[in-house]
Copies of this chain bind each other. A is one copy, B any other.
Amino acid sequence: MELSSRGRLMPASPIRRLVPLADEAKARGLKVFHLNIGQPDIPTPPEMLEAMRRFEGPVLEYGPSGGLLETRVAMAGYLRGLGWPIEPKHVLVTEGGSEAILFALTALCDPGDEVVVFEPFYTNYSGFACMAGVTLVPVETKVEEGYHLPSRDVIESAIGPRTRAILYSSPGNPTGTVFTRDEVRTLVDLAAKHDLFVIADEAYREFAYDGLTATGVLDVAAEAGCLDLAILIDSISKRFSACGARIGFLVTRNELVLDSCLRFGQARLCPPTLEQYAAVAGYQQIARYVPPMIEEYRRRRDTVMAGLRRIPGAVCAVPEGAFYAQPRLPVGDADAFARWLLTGFSSGGKTVMVAPGNGFYATAGKGAEEIRIAYVLNEENLRVAMNLLVQAVETWNTNR
């Protein structure tokens, strides 16, 4: 009795696979500062929790497979507010953005088909691709270039006969990069030329700093006259600090894609019911809730960068968005370094946990000196955590 190939090859999450080591460190009495996972500490809007509490029953029923109408109305209204041509019928509510990605890959790709991604990329794209039997074809982006896209020709050379889509996140996880309008337009144009879809993961849309605005795939595709190729992945997890709600969205004007994804959705019956009411309440609070949150993350980003600048040899462009940085550190094997942070290092009874950067690459060997930092701690803790990191790099390099 053996597992399937994909059952064996499915990658463990680089964000979560060191958790047993963190648990052991905590059992030894250490305080562990978590920079490994994008779990925000910002309070969820209380109105969202209240919306769930208001549910009186008597029966916690299945909702529609495509999501509650009021939730689809709220999401469509939000997107229309951005100027995009979206009605509730273009919105499918999913079990987190995660499920939306899996549905999109499955609807577009048969086993062996290819999807172009830009590495480093959100690590779980690898997991969903493995589950769906899809091959990710990575195009390299570089820390020295702030992880912005290479030239159109370089991207085009990754497109082959089995390519079905281009998948990216912007604002980017793990890079913090916000693609320019020209970059998004290049991807849309390439997709139009080669009969591909563009799957844009915009879960961090509002998380753009220094006056930047993230460009939406629906906006650019509408401008380019090819709305049918655009598939938007979205989520309330980060926007409303509600990761445990498991509410995401797949939004597209392409009826065939939406219908296919709805049939996938029918198989799993429905997304959680109460959290969809919470999502509605969240969107009602967005104007009040989001701007100060973004300002808070901007300050944290500056704290992370101030820390990184104190590490001689560290390379990292200033992240433009999301709440991640993917610096290259002068530590040789960053995976070993990340383990050692939990097993061999401490200072004043404290240590810090980061995600090894190689887990965000499809190409073996790449990202070996990188880590991902999620700046989801308050400034005071973040300062402590960055001090620990600075000190750890120094100790690591002294000892090896």
Q: Which residues of A contact B (CB under 8 A)?
A: 1, 3-8, 10-13, 15-17, 19, 37, 39-44, 46, 48-49, 52-53, 55-65, 95-96, 98-99, 102, 106-111, 113, 124, 127-128, 131, 133, 164, 195-197, 228-229, 241-246, 254, 256-257, 260, 263-264, 266-275, 278
Contact = CB atoms under 8 A, between A and B. Distances in A.
A128 B131 CA distance: 12
Contacts of A108: 3-4, 7
Contacts of A264: 10, 127, 131
Contact of A12 (B62, B196, B243, B266): B266
Contacts of A96: 268-269
A1 B229 contact: yes
The 4 closest A-B pairs by CB, nearest first: A127-B267, A244-B273, A43-B58, A13-B266
Nearest to A165: B1
Given A39-B62, A57-B44, A269-B98, A6 B106 contact: yes
Q: Which of A15, A19, A62, A196 has the most CB of B within 10 A?
A: A62
Contact of A268 (B58, B63, B98, B270): B98
Contacts of A106: 4, 6-7, 131
A95 B96 CA distance: 11
7 contacts: A7-B108, A16-B266, A19-B64, A44-B60, A52-B274, A127-B266, A246-B271
Contact of A43 (B13, B43, B59, B263): B59
Nearest to A104: B7
A96 B128 CA distance: 18
A272 B256 contact: no
B60 A244 contact: yes
Identical subunits present: 2
B61 A16 contact: no
A49 B254 CA distance: 38
A266 B96 CA distance: 13
Contacts of A11: 263
A102 to B, nearest CB: 7
A257 B2 CA distance: 9
B6 A268 contact: no
A194 to B, nearest CB: 10
A4 B113 contact: yes
A11 B262 CA distance: 10
Contacts of A65: 13, 16
A95 B268 CA distance: 9
A108 B236 CA distance: 32
